[in-house]
Amino acid sequence: MKKILGILGKPGAGKDTFCDLFKKNHESVEIFKFSDPLSDVLKIFFDEVTREDQQWLVNNLRDRFGKDILAKAIEKKILKSDSDFILLNGVRLFEDEEMVKRLGGDIVYIETRPKLRWKRMKKRGEKADDDVSFEKFLKLDKGRSEKDIEEIGKRSKFKVDNNKSEKELEKQVKRLIQELNE
């Protein structure tokens, strides 16, 4: 049976870093990112991908095909995967959480203060609109695709505090891996 963890957190919380550290400390894990299908589509048309464009695209897809459209896409990838351990980076909606639970998985909630998330996003420059004012960041943070995160986080089985160093985050990842292997 596959072990599945849905990774949940607001933008800039450290989901990618968490997944990278998990992969570094666990020999066989596959990572699927909920935003990859959105980025793939946007890259066909544009050189730069913005979070605002991703939010627009996913909102339109959900309006047309249902709130669970990304969960369905990720579930297909999970079912085709040969990996015994899968991380689902970017759980955001109740429908995503439901899919993770239905497949026997658990949720990991990464908590990080808003100001720190904003600073980290500006520094990483992953998306074209990562370098925005704190006010614009807070506005994007309230987008439709971000609204369920805190509620799902309250119910998550595992919570990770990512308000300190990457070294501290790695300690928490190692403890979690140990707990999952017991």
d(CA 125, CA 1): 37
pLDDT at 24 over 80: yes
d(CA 98, CA 13): 22
Q: Can you give the pTM of this predicted structure?
A: 0.90
Where does the pLDDT of residue 132 fall: very low under 50, low under 70, confident under 90, or very high at 90 and above?
confident
Where does the pLDDT of residue 81 fall: very low under 50, low under 70, confident under 90, or very high at 90 and above?
very high
pLDDT of residue 140: 82
pLDDT at 5 over 80: yes
pLDDT of residue 46: 94
Domain regions of the chain by residue span: 3-181
Local structure of 71: helix, strand or coil: helix
* 3-181 CATH, one of 2.60.40.1120, 3.40.50.300, 3.40.50.10300, 3.40.920.10: 3.40.50.300
Where does the pLDDT of residue 167 fall: very low under 50, low under 70, confident under 90, or very high at 90 and above?
very high
Mean pLDDT of 24-38: 92
